[in-house]
């Protein structure tokens, strides 16, 4: 008779949508060409490990690499702040994609941003035959430029980013840190065991320090802080108390001026007719996401917003990327609530300032929700294939937890982690379709009541 563990796995597999179930049953494909190239690169390395002890010199040059988009880069801000506060004499360069370079530039502690279009992260559709070769050509070309910058230390902040680890290796950066996944471990001088491999019960790579400990299931902010702690040890600061600064972003004065112009243009502060002609609260909604598997139907968002409008008289601010404008327009068509649409019309700094004036932000797991929380705005987030423990609201206090709500799919296959999926055959993937408007309304009302006393403080920022 099968045990409860086997029954649970079978139940979870049966609940999965067809594309994910097929991938799980087939197993992860092996990229033989990549394996050969990585093996070749490993033979062309920069030589022996660096000598023990801290990095010599008074102004160490530190390179941080994160190829992802808004939310993931924003979640590195506590690690960057900690590095800068403990080692203000270090110069920190952040290598990010053009899609998130503005975010990186506004992280406290970053001195310089090096923008590069990392292969595989442009969200521009499947690569053609030439695009499959270009990543390796670009790797050698960029490594020559990075080598000329003479960095003392580099940190690969995305655990599975083999391309970034190989870049640090080919650039002859003497100290290279990251998570020791099979694709990155050959190129690092020190690192931490990845939560994924340990959680799966597999042995860590050979060059993992036997004393290294990492929580198996913790927020991505903590993953970044773990790497920052490793970097501080290399900088000779390994015995200080661990700090956990907030996730934050610093808009410029130009950002604020443009945000206030847009706020006035859309008359979001216009009084609502009534007994005292009060100024209505504004709810921000971002219906889009980086993966089609995260999308919830705009018509369901309209039910939530119209309910809040009927109860609290809210106005709605619809945000998103230029590619998400059709989704925003579909949402507006379903709404009865007065609405302003700024999808595709704002920079990150401007959007951050607009969100700072909002009473609540709602949406699927996406960068806007991370940004809203970083600006002190309560949030309600929907989770289907993504893991809320890894990517949900971050904050150590009870007040932090009350200010945010997570609504997760009830399906047994929740948090499967498969995000690189094609658009769904139906309106939504099953995991998102199983989240009801009533659940989201109830979560929004809980957060609204729990944060009611904080609203004036946020609006006066």
Residue from 358, 378, 352 nearest 444 by CA: 378
Shared domain for 43 and 165, answered yes or no, is: yes
Calculate what percentage of the chain has a pLDDT beyond 90: 66
Are residues 220 and 88 located together in one domain of the fold? yes
Lowest mean pLDDT of 104-108, 183-187, 215-219, 380-384, name the range: 215-219
State the pLDDT at residue 159: 93
d(CA 393, CA 219): 9
**Domain total of the chain:** 2
The answer to whether residue 20 is domain-embedded is no
* Other Cβ atoms closer than 10 A to 415: 18
Quick: pLDDT tens for 356-407.
999 999 999 999 999 999 999 999 999 999 999 999 999 766 667 789 999 9
pLDDT in tens, 276-298: 567 899 999 999 999 999 999 99
Mean pLDDT, the chain, integer:
87
Pick the more confident residue, 200 or 252. Answer: 252
For the chain, how big is the Rg over CA atoms in Å?
23
In Å, how far are 149, 154, 191, 226 from 240, measured between CA atoms? 29, 21, 19, 13
**Residues 342 and 411 occupy one common structural domain:** yes
* Lowest mean pLDDT across 9-13, 52-56, 173-177: 52-56
Determine the pLDDT at residue 3: 56
Residue 58, domain member (yes or no)? yes
Specify the CATH number for the domain of residue 166: 3.40.50.2000
Task: Find the angle CA(369)-CA(343)-CA(339) to the nearest 5 degrees.
Answer: 90
The β-bridge partners of 405 are 380
Residue 29 has pLDDT above 80, yes or no: no
- Dump pLDDT digits (tens) for 402-460: 899 999 999 999 999 999 888 888 889 999 999 999 999 999 999 999 998 776 444 44
Convert 75-105 to b/e letters by CB count within 10 Å (16 or more is b): bbbbbbbbbbebbeebbbbbbbbebbbbbbb
Contact 208, 184 (CB under 8 A): no
pLDDT of res. 400: 74
- Asked if residue 18 belongs to a domain, the reply is no
Other Cβ atoms within 10 Å of 258 Cβ, number: 18
d(CA 143, CA 140): 5
Instruction: Choose among 277, 263, 272: nearest CA to 319.
Output: 263
* Contact (CB, 8 A) for 293 and 419: yes
Over 70: is that where the pLDDT of 128 sits? Answer: no
Contacts of 229 (CB under 8 A, 6+ apart): 238, 242
Mean pLDDT, residues 233-239 taken together: 86
Contact 344, 262 (CB under 8 A): no
Residue 241 lies in a domain: no
**Residue 19 is assigned to a structural domain of this protein:** no
Q: Can you name the residues that pair with 315 across neighbouring β-strands?
A: 282
Say what the pTM is.
0.89
Whether residues 411 and 308 share a domain: the answer is: yes
pLDDT band at 210 (very low <50, low <70, confident <90, very high): very low
Averaged pLDDT for residues 320-335: 95
Same domain, 267 and 148: no
Q: Are residues 148 and 206 in the same domain?
A: yes
For residue 49 the two structure tokens come to 């490990």
> Of residues 100 and 46, which shows the higher confidence score?
100
CA distances from 303 to 309, 317, 325, 338, 456 (A): 10, 15, 19, 14, 26
Q: Residue 46: pLDDT above 80?
A: no
320 and 176, same domain (yes or no):
no
User: Is the same domain home to 212 and 257?
Assistant: no
Indicate the SS3 state at residue 281.
coil
Q: Which domain holds residue 201?
A: 38-234
Residue 316 lies in a domain: yes
Report whether pLDDT(37) > 80. Answer: no
pLDDT of residue 403: 93
Closest CA to 234 of 150, 152, 158, 162: 152
Inside any domain, residue 7:
no
**Domain-embedded: residue 248:** no
My answer on whether 276 and 215 are in the same domain is no
130 or 394, which is more confident?
394
Helix (H), strand (E) at residue 82: helix 77-86
d(Cα 222, Cα 422) in Å, to the nearest integer?
30
Span 299-317, mean pLDDT?
97
Shared domain for 288 and 191, answered yes or no, is: no
Distance between CA atoms of residues 310 and 437, nearest Å: 15
Whether 395 and 359 map to the same domain: the answer is: yes
d(CA 456, CA 116): 40
How high is the pLDDT of residue 424?
87
């Amino acid at each position: 008779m099968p045990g409860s563990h086997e029954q649970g796995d079978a139940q979870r597999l049966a609940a999965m949508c067809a594309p994910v179930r097929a991938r799980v049953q087939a197993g992860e494909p092996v990229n033989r060409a990549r394996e050969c190239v990585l093996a070749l690169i490993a033979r062309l390395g920069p030589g022996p490990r660096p000598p023990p002890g801290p990095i010599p010199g008074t102004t160490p040059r530190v390179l941080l690499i994160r190829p992802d988009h808004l939310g993931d880069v924003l979640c590195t801000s506590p690690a960057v702040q900690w590095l800068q506060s403990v080692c203000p004499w270090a110069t920190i360069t952040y290598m990010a994609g053009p899609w998130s370079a503005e975010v990186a530039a506004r992280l406290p502690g970053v001195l310089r941003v090096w923008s590069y279009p990392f292969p595989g992260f442009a969200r521009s559709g499947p690569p053609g035959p030439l695009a499959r070769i270009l990543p390796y050509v670009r790797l050698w070309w960029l490594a020559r430029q990075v080598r000329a910058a003479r960095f003392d230390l580099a940190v690969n902040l995305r655990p599975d980013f083999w391309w970034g680890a190989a870049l640090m290796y080919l650039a002859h950066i003497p100290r290279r840190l990251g998570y020791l996944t099979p694709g990155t471990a050959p190129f690092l001088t020190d690192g931490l065991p990845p939560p994924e491999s340990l959680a799966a019960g597999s042995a860590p790579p050979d060059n993992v320090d036997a004393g290294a400990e990492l929580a198996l299931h913790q927020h991505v902010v903590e993953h970044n802080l773990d790497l920052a702690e490793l970097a501080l040890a290399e900088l000779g600061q390994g015995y200080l108390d661990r700090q956990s600064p907030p996730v934050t972003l610093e808009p410029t004065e130009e950002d604020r001026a443009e945000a206030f112009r847009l706020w006035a243009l859309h008359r979001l502060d216009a009084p609502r007719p009534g007994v005292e002609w009060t100024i209505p609260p504004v709810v921000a909604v971002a219906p889009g996401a980086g993966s089609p598997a995260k999308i919830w139907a705009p018509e369901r968002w309209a039910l939530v917003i119209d309910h809040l409008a009927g109860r609290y008289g809210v106005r709605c601010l619809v945000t998103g990327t230029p590619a998400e404008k059709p989704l925003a327009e579909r949402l507006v068509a379903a709404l009865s609530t007065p609405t302003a649409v700024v999808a595709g019309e704002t920079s990150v700094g401007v959007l951050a300032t607009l969100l700072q004036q909002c009473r609540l932000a709602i949406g699927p797991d996406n960068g806007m929700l991370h940004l809203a929380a970083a600006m002190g705005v309560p949030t309600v987030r929907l989770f289907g294939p993504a893991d809320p423990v890894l990517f949900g609201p971050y904050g150590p206090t009870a007040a932090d937890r009350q200010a945010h709500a997570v609504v997760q799919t009830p399906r047994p296959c929740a948090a499967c982690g498969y995000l690189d999926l094609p658009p769904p055959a139906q309106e939504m993937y099953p995991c998102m379709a199983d989240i009801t408007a009533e659940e989201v309304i109830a979560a929004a009302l809980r957060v609204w009541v729990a944060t009611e006393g904080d609203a004036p403080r946020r609006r006066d920022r």
